[in-house]
Amino acid sequence: MAREGKKSAQKGRKGKDLPSVRERAFIRAYVAGETQGRAQPSARAAGFSAADTGAGIKLLGRPHVKAEIARLLAKQDITAERVLAELSRLAYSDMRDYAEWGANGVTLKPSTELSDLATIYLLASVTLVPFVASSKGRSGLAWMLIALLMSPLLALIALVAVPAGEGREPINPFDAVRPP
């Protein structure tokens, strides 16, 4: 009778090895958890003993575990081309991608309707564009509206090209305001 601790995989269809419950927990932690890409912390997160300092490496050496990790990473399909395509799509987006007009005025779309990258990009545009504008002596609010109406990326490019406000010195937002 084999001990459960020694059992590494079950036989699946067509005789292929399937990861055990703890191996699946390790795979999840290694591919997408807080311990992503780190073998030993992923093994601990999956319930393997912290005293076994080689558990993560041993798990990565198992062919069926390695194959499942490769399958999941390929499924994510994160490539430079895909990231650039997403950034390009967002750079040339317009306000209708983020908001809706109706009888009650303009309302932002729910965050559940936006991709994670679109949400981050939108938040950065409404914080970064006004920050750069105010540091150049320009109206942060006006430039934020410009960014939202045309494109945050194009607004930043225009802002960088525009000289500091006439008759004003650029403002450093990091300067502390001292009371009189």
Model pLDDT, residue 1: 43
| Over residues 167-171, mean pLDDT | 53
Model pLDDT, residue 5: 46
Residue, of 21 and 163, whose pLDDT is higher: 21
| Over residues 72-94, mean pLDDT | 71
Where in the chain does DSSP place strands (E)?
9-11, 17-19, 99-102, 105-108
HEC secondary structure over 106-121: EEECCHHHCCHHHHHH
Residue 131 has pLDDT above 70, yes or no: yes
Residue 9, φ and ψ in degrees, nearest 5: -155, 160
Average pLDDT of the chain? 75
Model pLDDT, residue 126: 74
Instruction: Name 142's Cβ contacts closer than 8 Å, sequence gap at least 6.
Output: 133
pLDDT tens-digit profile of 25-75?
A: 999 998 887 888 888 999 999 999 988 888 999 999 999 998 998 888 777
> What is the C-alpha to C-alpha distance for residues 110 and 107, in angstroms, rounded to an integer?
9
> What is the C-alpha to C-alpha distance for residues 178 and 131, in angstroms, rounded to an integer?
20
pTM for the whole thing? Answer: 0.40
CATH 1.10.20 is right for the domain spanning 10-76 = no
Q: Extract the tokens encoding 159.
A: 């802002």
Model pLDDT, residue 15: 47
Model pLDDT, residue 72: 85
Instruction: State percent of the chain over pLDDT 70.
Output: 69
| Over residues 85-112, mean pLDDT | 73
Where in 1-154 does DSSP place strands (E)?
9-11, 17-19, 99-102, 105-108
Q: Where are the domains of the chain?
A: 10-76, 93-161
